[in-house]
Amino acid sequence: MKRLVAVVATACALSSGCTYAKEEPGLFRNNATSSPTVETLPPPAPTNPELPVAAEAEWTTAEGLHISTRFAIHAVRRLELATVVDWSVTPLSAPGYASGDKLPSWVDLGLSRSSEGDVSMFLIDPTGDKVYRTLSHESRRLFNRCLCTPLWLAQQGLRIGETRLLQATFPPLPDSLNYIDVDLINMAPFVGIPVTASGQVPTALHPTNLVRPAGPAHPVLGQHEFRYRQQPRRVQSITIDRVVTAPGRTSVEWTIKSLTDQSTYILTPALSPIGGVLPDGVDVLNRDVVSGPQIKPGGSPAANTLTVSWLTTAVAERKAYECLCSSLGLWAGSLRREGGQASVTSNYPPLPAGTRTVDVILPHVATISGVPVVDAEDLAPRFGPAKPYAGETWLYTSTNPPRGWTTAEWPTPLPDMDQLKDYRFFVENLTQLPGW
């Protein structure tokens, strides 16, 4: 029995961590095993037109289902002792599925976290170089779960064309901080979302429709195929989708595609140029991160080359670092096979003022030159005036964790503040990796 437990634990470590009570897809699952479940369900309800939306982005899952998904941020609400982010997921389409079809339970939104807090969502204060992580339960027996709608539960029961409202709780923000960036780690962070005062909720300026079809894909800005020097039969490509500049940060959204089967995927960390060569003697939370690419202001030979940003954290109570970039794992399982692809994001320090293009350096492989830079959208004008709100609260219990809400249930209830005594608060520093 001890040997079996050790094997399971090792498997969890190799696959970037296991989440409690979460059904994992089989290593060799393919589209032939993912036919829709025949079940009579009412058609999806339209989006509540009064649901406020501060920001939204589209992303396609990479576990093998290829679900076109819309993520949205609806509010950042200030509480007396905490901060709550209301967000949502809307599956828009997937091959072999029609509107209203229920998706398999092995859907993976790519946001599961291998350490405390369950979900890879952060609040970033770019002026103070601070990063706020989700609240984490003190008990290891309870898997240090977040005070949130757990992802393993949210990912079950998703339907095409139906929006699920979710929630995550963070440490309290300083009173002087009226705007915050929200980071869902596989996309460029949403910049400058207004923080609503305690006892209020934002309102929508225009009628909301989150189930409309996905917009056009970003044009390809640069692409390069490569073979690994250590494993020349492994061929992949990197496509640069978008470079976004924002106060205190630069984000590169890019796509990894496997042009041949990748037999060692999830067994070892990603190799250069996808993963960076990390310095010895520095503890990192996860080595299988997309830290390899570097950027440099275009047309400026003397400019500094920028490497990915990191935030402080801890591993086994020792000082460590976590990449402010996507972490690969089971969510990107389609990369194991020829034709599989995953969309990821790496975040960097800010570019010099006025920079309009960058060179993306893929170490030991190639440089993609002259990639245009776009400015992050100012999201503050998307909200209408705030209105008073005093509603119900919810308690997280292992037997009945919060399952999310429909858009008709907006404004959603808030977490009961009596729970906070059982949770840990994390405010990290944004930094660079020592010796890198």
Chain segment 73-129, per-residue pLDDT in tens: 999 999 999 999 999 999 999 999 999 999 999 999 999 987 776 799 999 999 999
Read off the tokens for 202: 């934002």
Give pLDDT, residue 200.
96
CA distance 30 to 7: 25
Q: What mean pLDDT value characterizes the chain?
A: 88
In eight-state DSSP terms, residue 222 is E
Residue 23 pLDDT class (50, 70, 90 cuts): very low
Nearest to 123, CA basis, from 72, 84, 70: 84
In this structure, are residues 210 and 53 in contact, taking their beta carbons and an 8 Å threshold?
yes
pLDDT at 348: 98
- For residue 338, count other CB atoms closer than 10 A to its CB: 13
pLDDT score at 117: 64
What is the pTM (predicted TM-score) of this model? 0.89
Question: Is 70 exceeded by the pLDDT of residue 22?
Answer: no
Residue 317 has pLDDT above 50, yes or no: yes
At 302 the pLDDT is 77
| pLDDT tens string 189-235 | 999 999 999 999 999 999 999 999 999 888 889 999 999 888 888 99
353/245 Cα distance (integer angstroms):
10
Residues 267-275 have a mean pLDDT of 89
pLDDT value at residue 18? 42
Domains in the chain with CATH codes: 17-215+378-431 (no CATH), 222-375 (2.60.40)
Q: What is the mean pLDDT of residues 394-411?
A: 92
| pLDDT for residue 26 | 34
- Give the residue-averaged pLDDT of 145-161: 92
**Is the per-residue pLDDT at 21 higher than 50?**
no
